[in-house]
A and B are shown apart, each in its own frame.
Chain A
Amino acid sequence: MSHNTNETHASDQRTNSELDLPLLSLSKTIESVLNTAVRLDEMEGQSFLSLEDKVIAVTLSPIKQPLYFLFTKSMIAVQSSLVGEADASIQTHLLDFVRLPLNHALPNTTLSGDTQLAQYFIDALCSLDIDWEEQLSHYTGDLIAFKVGHGIRSLFNTQQGVKDTVSQTLKEFLQFEIEAVPTQSQVKRFCQGVDDITTQTNVLEARINTLLTTS
């Protein structure tokens, strides 16, 4: 009988694995959170439809074992083994992946295999839009949900305001008070000066060469 090496390779890699509770918990948690997010999404996860029947391997460093995302019409399944090869692979950092709903981007990401498919997945994750106030209002009523939403929005605005103020104050202190770092225009002028000197040096060099060859 024939032995299909590709079909058995991935499973063979984990033949001696013990009950890996952290990995099981991670895959189960990501699966639950993702499917809940899709269910609550305003577009009900329409962006994931183009991924149906595909498999994407996601390596979330520092975890070495990739997680496989299986897309079917009924759900997104996450598991730590796969028979055969995934259609596409994404390598990113666990924290970046966790922050994706806030940042709407996956920085420092390596895509391989069907990269277009991998990009679809990232875009689909970024496009998830959950109206938390609407969901909360089912349990607490409209008034409390609005108050909570308003409070969270205010908190985010205040946090952003504090962040902007601190960064502006620090910038001014370093550039103008103690003059430890140059301003952007100073750097620009300096670079322009270097370019001018380089050009003048090149002209001078060319002139000297001309004089040497004619004498």
Chain B
Amino acid sequence: MSQTKPTIDFGFTEVPLQEKVKKVKGVFDSVAGNYDIMNDVMSLGVHRLWKRHTIELSGIRPGKVVLDLAGGTGDLTKEFAKRVGKEGKVVLADINESMVRVGRDRLINAGIAGNVEYTITNAEALAFPDNTFDLATIAFGLRNVTNKDKALEELYRVLKPGGQLMILEFSKVTQPLFAKFYDFYSFNILPKMGKLIANDEASYQYLAESIRMHPDQETLKQMMLTAGFDKAEYLNMNEGIVALHRGWKY
């Protein structure tokens, strides 16, 4: 009797469950060096505004402990580290070593040190004790996680009571006409830009596909509640190109 292996989406293709991590790692190994430039080009710089809004809404203050999961090149870590001060701490965690290296070098060059720790960790099995963080963020990373439900449960576990999770992620465009333009841009222009700037069309094709396969706003909110969060809500930015989901552990 033949037994079919469980599969999961990798962009628009189905891959065996165990292979997604390797494939995502391959994508981010490939784009790590040009990640920041590409983010600026892809979003016309608006990703800075989305991240700034996330930081402002976090309500962070000196002395707090923050987890920046899938922190990549450290955009959020840099700002949080400036805000939590010497009594606080920010942990930049990412499954991809190349991204953490780029992030660490970038932050050290910017003079950010002393209250930042770096770790390579899988979002589905966070290497932190229960009730560790006042705030956890995952910006443009959740869609690459193989088992999102498990990752949300882990994030809930490591948050302190009263703590907040913020998920900044591409989502479903709410305006139909704009959605058509956005699709054209994602599948026709974005990969070409990837080829032009990073000489890597396939990785950027995957980025566009993975955005479409990511759960929409309401689904993700429900997933957060199922994972244990006592309150969850979301905020659309730029017609839903990006949504900021927030969950609280009481």
Contacts and interface: CB of A to CB of B under 8 A. Distances in A.
A7 B82 contact: no
B120 interface: no
Contact of A19 (B61, B237, B246): B237
Main secondary structure of the interface of A (DSSP, over half): loop
A207 interface: no
Contacts of A80: 56
Nearest to A86: B61
Contacts of B53: 19-20, 24
B85 A53 contact: yes
Given A15-B246, A19-B238, A74-B111, A81 B84 contact: no
Contacts of B250: 1-3, 8
A75 B83 CA distance: 8
A72 to B, nearest CB: 4
Interface in B209-234: 233
B176 interface: no
Contact of A8 (B63, B85, B235, B248): B248
A81 B63 CA distance: 16
Contact of B56 (A7, A10, A15, A79): A79
A81 B55 CA distance: 9
A39 to B, nearest CB: 12
A147 to B, nearest CB: 35
A99 interface: no
B83 A11 contact: no
B59 A53 contact: no
B62 A54 contact: yes
B16 interface: no
A19 B56 CA distance: 11
Interface in A11-30: 11, 14-21, 24, 27-28
Main secondary structure of the interface of B (DSSP, over half): mixed
A4 interface: yes
A11 B49 CA distance: 19
A122 B81 CA distance: 25
A81 B52 contact: no
A1 B146 CA distance: 30
B229 to A, nearest CB: 12
B161 A53 contact: no
B57 A17 contact: yes
B230 to A, nearest CB: 8
B98 interface: no
B85 A14 contact: no
Contacts of B248: 8
Contacts of B45: none
Interface string B83-114: 11111000000000000000000000001100
A70 interface: yes
Interface string B143-158: 0000000000000000
Contacts of A8: 162, 248, 250
Given A27-B56, A77-B82, A80-B56, 13 more contacts: A2-B162, A2-B250, A8-B250, A14-B57, A17-B235, A19-B235, A20-B53, A53-B86, A72-B84, A73-B85, A83-B61, A83-B134, A84-B59
25 contacts: A2-B162, A3-B161, A7-B162, A15-B233, A15-B246, A16-B233, A19-B238, A28-B52, A52-B85, A53-B63, A53-B87, A55-B61, A55-B62, A72-B84, A72-B85, A73-B85, A73-B86, A74-B111, A79-B55, A79-B60, A80-B56, A82-B61, A83-B58, A84-B59, A84-B61
